[in-house]
Structure 1
Amino acid sequence: MSSIKAALGRTLGRAVHAVRHPRVPRAWPGRVTAAVVALAVLAGAAGGVWWWNQRVPDGAALAVGDRVVTVADLDERVQTLRALYGVQPPTEDPAKLEAFRRDAAKAVAVSMVLEDRATEMGVGVADAKVRATLDQYVAQQLGPGPAARKEFTTVLGNVGTSEDKVLAEIRQQMAIGDMFKKVTDDVTTTDDDLRAAFPQYAERLGAPETRDLRNIVLTNQAAADKVAAQLRAGGDFAQVARTTSVDNATRDSGGALGKLSSQQLQPAYAQAAFSAPQGGIYGPVQNQFGWNVGQVGAVTPGVPANFDQVKDKLRQLVDFDRRLAVWSEWMRTSLADGDVRYADDYRPADPDSAPTGAGPGLPGGSATPSVPPAGGGG
């Protein structure tokens, strides 16, 4: 259960604190929010298979069995997900807002089906255990005592949710972890399995090439082109960053992002940064926070994996992937029998599947990156 507490700590932290680290232009799960992934337990699943011949009541976003989720209910749930996972509905692009709405409906539907299965399996989490998890987090992040609790409550109020709703989300995550363990308890991984799987995992287990990167964020392409030309003509990167970058998190340090691998970056940014030579200027590259111009510092070559040295980590990966396959099949069966129906405006583009993507060591996975995303001013 400590892994679930750790995940909750990471996700809740984004709601409580402002960004304190350089915001790296790195990959996030696209349209599918972290909440969608977390509530689906990061497993492939088939759901909503009866939506085409059963309608939901007027004013409803979806229904699971005889339970109806109204549009207001769904909006309220999104506020809680905002507090827990930093979910921010798109505000400018109508197409993205529509996709977000449908993804949120799917997240709620999946979570409701899992709640039903938890009841059937006799899985429950004691109130004291749930509250202890939240109390531990608040104490770690904000300190002990009434003042810390008051600050936490204020944060929740600012994003339109309550402590009771947060506790309900924590309870569900803990119950899902227990279900994952029960469903996958019989999975085993032998040493022979590890040797056979090693070639498939070798690249992931080796140390990737890293580059010491610096970055400048501009508000428009014209400004970015001008800065890129200035730097390629010999301008001092740190000086230019301090005077032109709109990213408050890195500007004072001359745009320093630190050592990063390509896997930690958004694909377009990674391609530019890892195509440039050491000392070279790359960009402009656009992302959601602006136009980025960067420079490559020291390059540290990658190191191939050695079986004996990575055996323990390999076991985690192989064992988790095997358990995830068993869990995915169980999810497909559960959701196929879940009687999920969506209103037309809330039906996901892919109602027969759920988000995927996970990491070892945490049944619920963690969609939250270890450092914040790239940013402009902030």
Structure 2
Amino acid sequence: MRVKSTLAWIAGAALDRVRTTWTGRIVAGVLVLALVAGIGGGTWWKMQQVPDGAALAVGDRVVTVTDLDDRVQTLRALYGVQPPVEDPVRMDGFRRDAAKAVALSMVLEDRAAEMGVGVADAKVRQTLDQYITQQLGNGPGARDDFVQVLGNVGTTEDKVMTEVRQQMVVGELFDRVTEEVTVTDDDLRADFPRYAERLGTPEKRDLSNIVVASKEAADRIAADLRGGADFATVARASTIDNATRANGGALGPISADQLQADYARAAFDAPAGQVFGPVQNQFGWNVGRSGAVTPGVPANFDQVKDRLRELVLFDRRITLWGQWMNDSLRGGDVRYADDYLPADPDSAPTGASPGLPSGTPQTAPPAPGGGG
């Protein structure tokens, strides 16, 4: 049984709509985004004391340091969040961001109660049961396996249920807060230039890649390839990427937005047929070759109008949601201990992709060097 994949799937179970609706896209990361993503700044802060041994307080509810550590452990089980314990500076930032993420979740709980938003126990259980069945099968054995996996990573089924419920409640809040946002046809025509590139068909390149463990090895391979060595032969002999070794390093046609930024720049700046790199990423040192180019196709307003409406409406809802969360956080009576005070306590977490914390798997094909 693969613990990481099982729990990642359970995290996705928080909302059955995660892959298909606006709500799902923003929900999965709301409670944990502050742990792993950059956060926009504000300046407001009410300096008030919290009891000894507390990390933070929201109203009359106190979260002790032990409570916060326990919550982080559950988030680690659900989302793969890893505290950077080897780096004291990063760990300090992580601790402060963890406190802020928990504070935000508590504030949203309060707002949900004020607005009469909730999710029935049966619905939460049904959501979790569905994914346990899909991942582990039917019968008591599947649930036993599930409970064992949770125990292995230091959390419990009750804690997972609490997290799932919070995710679902946030989804309901998002719908309630943004339900009146609209987009007219005039809005679409005015906004089309800003979205045209996203809505067009991007240029693609037929790429091949070799990933090795050191820059010295990558430099040597790049020199051999530029000297005329056969790319596929070298890839089969040298790459540590198990997913592409058998294909001689072939990645197939890929657009720049499917690649990590540094690799994309190198790949798309290289003339067709030429070797590029080395480029380093978290998987190693990459040497690639750019092959056939498939030109992009500009977007046509009439052809993409429906998709444009979705994007504009989504972005407007996200903007309103962010403003609403900021206002809620400012009015939430949140106080932090000095060691847990975030840099910008009044600003809700933000990220490049709503609902997708930085560093979590994306739906696009993996960047070169992923291995397998």
Paired residue secondary structure (1:207): coil
Paired residue secondary structure (1:274): helix
Q: How does 1:238-253 map to 2 (within 5 A)?
A: 238-253=232-247
Q: How does 1:134-153 map to 2 (within 5 A)?
A: 134-153=128-147
**1:26-50 residue CA offsets vs partner (Å, 9 max, x unmatched):** xxxxxxx95656589x9x9888943
Does residue 1:50 correspond to 2:50, yes or no? no
In the other structure, the counterpart of 1:29 is none
Does residue 1:291 correspond to 2:269, yes or no? no
2:32–2:98 Cα contact (<8 Å) kept? no
Tell me which of 225, 230, 241 is aligned to 1:236: 230
CA deviation after TM superposition for structure 1 residue 68, in Å: 2.0
Paired residue secondary structure (2:219): helix
1:272–1:282 Cα contact (<8 Å) kept? yes
Task: Return the alpha-carbon distance in structure 2 between the equivalents of residues 137 and 50 of structure 1.
Answer: 41
In the other structure, the counterpart of 1:219 is 213
Q: How does 1:54-203 map to 2 (within 5 A)?
A: 54-203=48-197
Q: Percent identity?
A: 67
**1:136-168 residue CA offsets vs partner (Å, 9 max, x unmatched):** 222233333334333333332232222221221
Paired residue secondary structure (2:51): coil
Aligned residue type for 1:156: L
Once the two structures are overlaid, the 10-residue window that deviates more, 280-289 or 255-264, is: 255-264
1:48–1:335 Cα contact (<8 Å) kept? no
**1:48-85 residue CA offsets vs partner (Å, 9 max, x unmatched):** 9435x213333322222222222222222222222222
Q: TM-score, normalised by structure 1?
A: 0.82
CA deviation after TM superposition for structure 1 residue 246, in Å: 2.4
In the other structure, the counterpart of 2:25 is none
CA deviation after TM superposition for structure 1 residue 260, in Å: 2.5
Once the two structures are overlaid, the 10-residue window that deviates more, 259-268 or 309-318, is: 259-268
Higher relative contact order (CA 8 A, sep 6+): 1
Task: Return the alpha-carbon distance in structure 1 between the equivalents of residues 110 and 136 of structure 2.
Answer: 35
In the other structure, the counterpart of 2:304 is 310
Change (3 A) 1:119 1:35: closer
Unaligned runs of 5+ in 2: 13-27
CA deviation after TM superposition for structure 1 residue 220, in Å: 1.8
1:35–1:87 Cα contact (<8 Å) kept? no
In the other structure, the counterpart of 2:203 is 209
Q: CA RMSD in A?
A: 3.0
Unaligned runs of 5+ in 1: 1-8, 17-32
Task: Return the alpha-carbon distance in structure 2 between the equivalents of residues 324 and 177 of structure 1.
Answer: 12
2:32–2:75 Cα contact (<8 Å) kept? no
